[in-house]
Amino acid sequence: MTTSRTSYVPPHLRNRPPSADPAPISHSGAAVGNGYLGYGGAPSAGFRSVGHRDGQIGGGGGAWNNRSNGWDRGMAREANPFGDDVDTDPGFGALENTGINFDAYDDIPVETSGINVPPPVNTFAEIDLGEALNLNIRRCKYTKPTPVQRYAIPISIGGRDLMACAQTGSGKTAAFCFPIISGIMKGGQSAASPARSPRIACPLALILAPTRELSIQIHEEAKKFAYQTGVRVVVAYGGAPVNMQLRELERGVHILVATPGRLVDLLERARVSLQMIRYLALDEADRMLDMGFEPQIRRIVQQMDMPPPGIRQTLLFSATFPKEIQRLATDFLSSYVFLAVGRVGSSTDLILQRVEYVHETDKRSHLMDLLHAQRASGDQGKQTLTLVFVETKKGADSLEHWLCFNGFPATTIHGDRTQQEREYALRSFKSGKTPILVATDVAARGLDIPHVAHVVNFDLPNDIDDYVHRIGRTGRAGKTGLATAFFNENNSSMAKPLAELMQEANQEVPAWLSHFAAQSSYGGRNRGGAGGRFGGRDFRRDPSANRGGMDMYGVGQMNGGYGGATNVASAWD
DNA sequence: AAAAAAG
């Protein structure tokens, strides 16, 4: 059980100040006795009962965590996700600047609604997240919480369900990971219903994401937050060999990050049980609940063995949240708080949005012009990454070939490529080896790719929310970004919402686009996700939305929920 | 109609 591995903290040194910590990070004053009932720096001692043997079934907790061998080996082996050299570790550098420009945060509009909303905090120290997690927060160089974190963390710590609208890059992942990790540490191991077999993994938290790459990214980030907390994070997604993922699950899992398809597969194989779930988080929640995903999500959340709303805690996050989707989401929530954080940087100051009228047949040559101009003006040596969005997978392949043929190193990511190719393409793009990435909407949401200077909407999406997500891939890390859209007759349905969005973001709207917008009979008003200064608005506050939804809503809320407009802050009015 | 997500 004992080992000389430097990352292992022997039991007698646990709960000790930093001298016991092998990580090459200078830190001071790690307090002892932080209220975690024996957790401190390496809380594994608090999780398992001592003296169990390998493979022993039954007892106090989920099947795996009685197996002290597996557990301690896991602890000993836990790789330092921060790397030994901060300066040369790209992963760390990326996390260090998750698009957080604190100077831009002072006048960010924030709105909450719901009953008894826990008040926001101004510092991480105000919340008792635990010493191990606090140390990781310092390692991440998060000095103070972002707006979404200031509000979402106390709400989650307070045990409330949450529907949060906040731009990706505003610290969303941490906003739902911190409370989950902290809650798992505090709660210790529930003694309830052990699994039937040690081969069934029983995670306490489930984080679902709409793409494989996003689930990978969340997993990487969550591992940093959970480092040496004793909380194990495992990822499961399709397109990759299942055996490795199964082995990881067998070694124990507190937090499972997954895409829906692979999770359903694992549930059907009875390799995962959701009976112990205490936290459910949906990232890009509006996408997860839209037509393509809804049946799978309902299956996972409502038709397996997951505890119902009110028993588990549910956290929904997205940059956009259309009203129809909000209404759907109430099925998964109990007396929830709605939180909207104004767009930070992304579609306001930091991203310069341009729309150019380009005929379908001229798109390639026009893109070429842009790339030539960019190449001419750009600082040589500095990598300027360009992300080009197209509508179809075939279109992505053909544009990639054409760009390469014309001397622009490009690669592509879309759902017809193998997972290996997808991950290679993303790495190749991030590293600057192929500074142009042609992508379908698989790359539109959530991916944090530093140094993307230019997002080109070669084909505009049909949904303004998708546009918001796409351009959000640039203007990150406090840097400015450029978003260029090619517009023509085929996109006339987008004219109005696009013009309105750009106007709200104080962007210059070309006269011809306004003309298109005026002609267009399509709506674009109050599309829920895109309207106003916020990333969204609580549909419970919309009279027209409530007319149909109120009954269902009133019944669905266990604590009475939102009882009309009378007892709620009126900042909206 | 398209994209994503299981094999």
| Residue A10 pLDDT level (bands cut at 50, 70, 90) | very low
DSSP string across A153-173: HHHHHTT--EEEE--TTSSHH
Pick from A97, A276, A99: nearest CA to A188? A276
Is A507 a residue whose pLDDT tops 70?
yes
Q: Which nucleotide is nearest to A241 (CA to C1')?
A: B7
Residue A334, CB-side half-sphere exposure with 13 Å CA sphere: 15
Supply the DSSP symbol for A40.
T
> In this predicted model, what pLDDT tens digit does every residue of A299-331 receive, in sequence order?
999 999 999 999 999 999 998 999 999 999 999
Q: Tell me, in Å, how far CA of A174 is from C1' of B4? A: 24
Is A491 a residue whose pLDDT tops 60?
yes
Q: Tell me, in Å, how far CA of A140 is from C1' of B1? A: 43
Q: Which nucleotides of B are covered by protein (CB under 7 A)?
A: 1-7
Contacts 24+ apart (CB under 8 A), A21-28: A21/A135, A21/A228, A23/A80, A23/A82, A23/A139, A23/A228, A24/A84, A25/A82, A25/A135, A25/A138, A25/A139, A27/A135, A27/A138
Is A535 a residue whose pLDDT tops 70?
no
Lookup result for tokens 């049980």: A273
**For A372-398, what is the mean pLDDT?**
87
pLDDT of residue A261: 96
| Residue A380 pLDDT level (bands cut at 50, 70, 90) | low
pLDDT of residue A208: 98
Is A549 a residue whose pLDDT tops 60?
no
C-alpha to C-alpha distance for A225 and A231, rounded to whole angstroms: 9
pLDDT of residue A58: 30
| Residue A342 pLDDT level (bands cut at 50, 70, 90) | confident
| Residue A79 pLDDT level (bands cut at 50, 70, 90) | confident
Is A71 a residue whose pLDDT tops 90?
no
Is A349 a residue whose pLDDT tops 80?
no
Q: Which nucleotide is nearest to A210 (CA to C1')?
A: B4
Cβ < 7 Å from nucleic strand B:
A 210-213, 237-240, 242, 259-265, 268, 290-293, 296, 391-395, 414-416, 440-442, 462
C-alpha to C-alpha distance for A258 and A264, rounded to whole angstroms: 10
pLDDT of residue A106: 58
Pick from A126, A224, A141, A214: nearest CA to A181? A224
Comparing every residue's Cα with the C1' atom of nucleotide B5, the nearest one is A261
Q: Tell me, in Å, how far CA of A290 is from C1' of B2? A: 14
Burial A154-185 (b: 16+ CB within 10 A, else e): bbbbeebbbbbbbbbbbbbbbbbbbbbbbbbb
pLDDT of residue A541: 85
> In this predicted model, what pLDDT tens digit does every residue of A83-92 receive, in sequence order?
754 433 333 3
| Residue A381 pLDDT level (bands cut at 50, 70, 90) | low
Is A469 a residue whose pLDDT tops 80?
yes
Comparing every residue's Cα with the C1' atom of nucleotide B3, the nearest one is A441
Comparing every residue's Cα with the C1' atom of nucleotide B2, the nearest one is A392
Lookup result for tokens 């070309």: A510
Q: Is this model's pTM higher than 0.75 or not?
A: yes
Least confident of A41-50, A84-93, A116-125: A41-50
pLDDT of residue A267: 97
Burial A411-442 (b: 16+ CB within 10 A, else e): bbbbeebeeeebbebbebbbeeebbbbbbbbb
